[in-house]
Structure 1
Amino acid sequence: MVRVGLQISATLENIDKLETSHPDYPFFVKLTCSNCGEQSDKWHDITESERVQQDTRNTAGFNFFMKCKMCSRENSIDIVEKSNVPYTADDSGKLKTIVIFDCRGLEPVDFSPRSGWKVFSSENGQSFEDVDLSEDDWVEYDQKNNNSVGVYEFASKFIKIKK
């Protein structure tokens, strides 16, 4: 079992925090089988609020379950409870781990942010729901503070987390 953290970085303009619509946010990832090295070419979504029952040995189920096409190994991923944290103005421009995956036989290798993010403007300004970061940049206008808000240069990477 390997723990893998999703780190993001972005430049935030007039934004206090950026976060996912946890626990209903679907993390879209591409995966690699740890056994044979087969990498998926399609995006898979992992959502903390969803459980799949595929294995009789684990009655609680998993957030994601997949049988490898190449080696037929059964693999699963769970989102570590309470590991989902916001990206704040203090983090702007730096990498920060925003969620941790508990991986058994699979590891995420690529992330697509897509829609479902929440953005909170600085100085108690406007909040924005279901923000789409699939273009890596997002710009809007905060009516309360009469200024522009934006998320720029969104980037992500995965790191292995030592226990």
Structure 2
Amino acid sequence: MLTLTLTAALEGVNDLRPDDTEDNPFWYTFKVQCGSCREIHPNFVSVSRFEANDMSGSRGEANFVWKCKSCKRESSATIKIAPIPYQQASPPTRQKVIEFDCRGLEFTEFKPEGEWLATGIDSKSKFTAIDLSEGDWFDYDEKASEEVSIKEMKWEIRRN
């Protein structure tokens, strides 16, 4: 099992999470490494919890099925839980975002592409289409009359 964790300084917002529904799936973007030959795929790959791919030689399915170009071994990853909203904390704490059951591969680097959601702490304002791909995010909460932000993000992929 691999867990994607986040540590971030949230100011004025809470419940940071990917915009991930069946109608609008979020694509988790990673660098992938073969568990057999340790080769790292040169490109980022994307995984959706709503996509099911057949595994060759098996009746099983996985959210992500990958064949290493170097050793030709097939590997898979399945998202085990829905994303968990990141909660504002002071000081910022490392929190689980999502968990994967990986067979024969490891994700080595996460790229937070895609749209994220958050909620104003006091105002309950809904913030949508948050772009974290460039790092820090800033906006203004009209109801609370204050700036809100997401800063100092640190993504980690941890083995359980």
Length-normalised TM-score, structure 1? 0.90
After superposition, the Cα gap between the structure-2 partners of 1:52 and 1:40, relative to the gap in structure 1 and judged at 3 Å, is: same
- Structure 2: which 5+ runs fail to align? none
Q: Percent identity?
A: 28
Quote the Cα distance in structure 1 between the aligned partners of 2:73 and 2:90: 38
Give 1:136's aligned residue. Answer: 135
CA distance in 2, matches of 1:37, 1:56: 23
**1:92 Cα deviation (Å)?**
5.7
Q: Could you give the per-residue CA deviations for residues 102-151 of structure 1, whole angstroms, max 9, x where no partner exists?
A: 00111000000022110111113321112110111000011111111100
Paired residue for 2:68? 68
Name the amino acid aligned to 1:95.
R
How do residues 1-163 of structure 1 correspond to structure 2 at under 5 angstroms? 3-23=1-21, 24-59=25-60, 61-82=61-82, 84-90=83-89, 93-161=92-160
Partners of 1:56 and 1:123 in 2: how far apart? 53
Unaligned runs of 5+ in 1: none
The SS at the match of 2:54 is coil
Give the Cα separation in 1 of the matches to 2:47 and 2:123.
Answer: 31
Q: What is the one-letter code of the residue matched to 2:102?
A: C
- Judged with a 3 Å threshold, the aligned counterparts in structure 2 of structure 1 residues 130 and 56 are, in CA distance, closer, same or farther, namely farther
More divergent stretch after superposition (47-56 vs 100-109):
47-56
Structure 1 distance, partners of 2:50, 2:128, is 18
Q: CA deviation at 1:40?
A: 1.2
Quick one: distance in 1 between partners of 2:91 and 2:155? 13
Q: CA deviation at 1:58?
A: 2.6
Aligned length: 157
Alpha-carbon distance between aligned partners in 2 of 1:81 and 1:112, rounded to the nearest angstrom: 19
Runs of 4+ residues over 3 Å off in structure 1: none
Equivalent position SS for 1:90:
coil
Q: Is the 8 A contact 2:18 2:114 kept in 1?
A: no
Amino acid paired to 1:124: S
Alignment check: 8 A CA contact 1:125 1:145 kept: no
